[in-house]
Amino acid sequence: MSSEAAESGVALQGRRRWFALMFLALGVAMIILDATVVNVAIPTMVKDLNLTTADAEWVTAAYALTFASLLILAGRLADRFGRRLMFVAGVIVFVAASVLVAASDSSSTLIAARALQGVGGAMILPSSLSVLNAVFVGRARAVAFAVWGGTIGGMAALGPLVGGWLTTYASWHWAFLINVPIGILVLVGVLITVPETKALGGPRGIDPLGTVLIIVALLGIVFALIEGQRYGWFTPQAEFSAAGWTWPSTTVSIVFVSAVVGLGALALFAFVEIRRAARGKTVVVDLRLFRIRTFGAGNVVALVVSLGEFGLLFGIPLFLQAVRGYDALQTGVILLALAGGSFVASGLGAPLSQRFGPVRVLQTGMALEALGILALGFTLSTEVTGWQMAPWLFMYGMGVGFATAQLTGVILSEVPVAESGQASAVQSTSRQVGAAIGTAIIGTTLVLGLGTVQGHLEDLGVPTAQAAQVSDIVATSAGQAIPALASQPNGAVLVEGASQGFAEAITWVAWVAGAFVLLGLLTSLVLPKNAARVESEGYSPPRGAPAAAE
């Protein structure tokens, strides 16, 4: 690594640091909450705004695309111009976009507002983590990372509950307007309690080519991962159109072209960044950070583990509502077990990491995740209840809480504070890309698993032609058409066969998700066992950073 830049700002101490942590965590909670709330609000939005299926998918995809593609750029800008400034600006953008979402009366304005929310979220997430890395030291930093990680895991589980309650008892508009009072509280709190920090010295200027290449790379790759199942990986399976323009080729899918462009831009980005860094020029991402063992290996672990974590959260709510007949609010209540486990782990993570080391706690968390997921695989059936799933969801949630917080600390443990913005953005991007890949793989697994519906129906005496038709309907709707089958002739048999097929498919999902988490656990074995132990045994500020009292 080249000599690091100096670091402006001071490390917080006393009660002020915990108030600062509270407001920063609340800001992160807002964007995580919103990302999960929308999943249970979309059905009502479809009815109110007459959205098509493609429109509904883009409500989620527009947010994911802008969020993932701008994380690294936002983290770099936070280091350069001020981390608190970037966080505050992100909250303002996110809240304003939330109001626009709630006020939308058409698919185009709704999708554009969701994309703007992704911009705000990309500004908030890496800047919040780099603030923690800059203003917390020693044991306090370990606690701060644990709270940050627990917030992400907990809010991911609480989102469906909050969204279900607001959609059921208020309206889908309030699922987004709730961000207004939260955002105002975060803004006031952060401006009062959080000092400004930024990297001083080092190369000045901007890296326009690198910025464009990384955005194009991530947009291309993430778009392909999200839309491959719908539009076809290699040849077109459905027509793609946007803003009045239609993909012209009937032989090559837009997804394939998007993936090639994205991967090509990524390779060119690496080449450009290496050359610029060697000349001492400003870069979007200093790829030399990956020479740090904890950073390079930790990001691989983050990506792989996210494949299983987020993929499972995609499949479970579909199963609960399609097969077990739970509504959105009841589904959210069941997922509270996951949130409970995550919150428990966030409280235990810091003291355990002080005693056994963060890497051991991280590996324990991934082991708990894998056990919880695989146990769910054995438990899921057409008769399973929320109470029967709760213990394994709680175990899974504890694993997420342990792994998320400790993995963050391990990845950033040896990164110079002056580079914390881009480093935290890279690890957040690893998670988001892992989530996109995981959702795509889990979605494909689910669709393939739903192919067994026809066999289950035929075993119950349903004619082959009808069984094939029902199987296609169930697969196309991700199982959500199952309850409506009850109104058809011989409806009870159709529902039973379709439910058996979906239960088998969701079991496959659990096996695949569990396998990814186990792969992440094996990958974590390359991490040095004492990585980030400095966080629990004391801290020596990087050269140029201010010393701080604990």
* pLDDT values of the chain reduced to their tens digit, one per residue, 550 residues: 443 444 555 555 667 778 888 888 888 888 888 777 776 677 677 767 777 655 676 777 778 778 877 877 787 788 778 888 999 999 999 999 999 999 988 888 888 899 899 899 989 988 887 788 777 776 777 777 777 766 766 676 677 778 778 877 778 888 888 899 999 999 999 898 888 887 665 555 677 888 889 888 878 887 887 777 778 888 998 888 776 788 888 899 999 999 999 999 999 998 998 888 888 787 777 788 888 888 888 888 888 877 777 667 767 877 887 788 887 778 778 878 887 887 788 778 778 877 888 888 888 988 998 899 989 888 988 888 888 998 999 998 888 878 877 777 788 777 776 676 667 777 777 777 777 677 667 777 777 787 888 888 888 888 888 888 888 877 776 677 788 788 888 888 888 888 888 888 888 888 888 888 888 888 888 887 655 544 444 333 333 333 332 2
Question: How far apart are the C-alpha atoms of 440 and 378, rounded to whole Å?
Answer: 23
pLDDT score for 420: 67
Question: How far apart are the C-alpha atoms of 462 and 468, rounded to whole Å?
Answer: 10
Instruction: Give the CA angle between residues 472, 473, 479 to the nearest 5°.
Output: 110
Q: Are the C-beta atoms of residues 36 and 160 closer than 8 Å to each other?
A: yes
pLDDT score for 260: 95
Dihedral sign, Cα of residue 258, residue 313, residue 60, residue 121: negative
* Buried b / exposed e along 65-75 (16+ C-beta atoms within 10 A): bbbbbbbbbbb
Instruction: Give the CA angle between residues 212, 216, 217 to the nearest 5°.
Output: 115
pLDDT score for 335: 78
The tokens describing 197, both together, are: 């920090």
| Residue 242 phi, psi (nearest 5) | -155, 135
